[in-house]
Amino acid sequence: MTNISATPMTFKAFVAVIGLTLSGLASAADNDVTLIIKDHRFEPAEVKVPANTRVRLVVHNQDQTAEEFESYSLNREKIIPGGAKAVIFIGPLKPGSYEFFGEFNEATAQGVVIAE
């Protein structure tokens, strides 16, 4: 036997949870930054992000060969196979500049994250 009087409250709780989940997804998407590797270069070479905020960096390697995203100042390193995407979380960062480079093509694959 179902308790009908409990159903409206259960439904309200369910709607509240779904609303919180969706609002969390929307704010996470606001902090996504896409970085492309093409012709052994990062595009854009300068990425601006909000300071003091965690950012999801989506790196899409459009070259046929692998590249390694490397940054000493961000303390990150990740190999991205040719044609693949990778997600790298950075931050929260203090205001400033944070250099990164492609380990396999260091002469051309250079960039900087600017937190402001």
Q: Which residues contact 18 (CB under 8 A, 6 or more apart)?
A: none
The pLDDT tens digits for 14-37 are 544 444 444 444 444 568 999 999
CB 62 within 8 A of CB 37: yes
The pLDDT tens digits for 74-97 are 999 999 999 999 999 999 999 999
The pLDDT tens digits for 57-74 are 999 999 999 999 999 999
Question: Reduced to 3 states, what is the DSSP secondary structure of residue 66?
Answer: coil
Q: Whole-prediction pTM value?
A: 0.74
The CATH code of domain 31-115 reads 2.60.40.420
The residue among 105 and 8 whose pLDDT is bigger is 105
DSSP annotation string for 33-44: EEEEEETTEEES
Please name the amino acid found at residue 3. Answer: N
Q: Is the pLDDT of residue 43 over 50?
A: yes
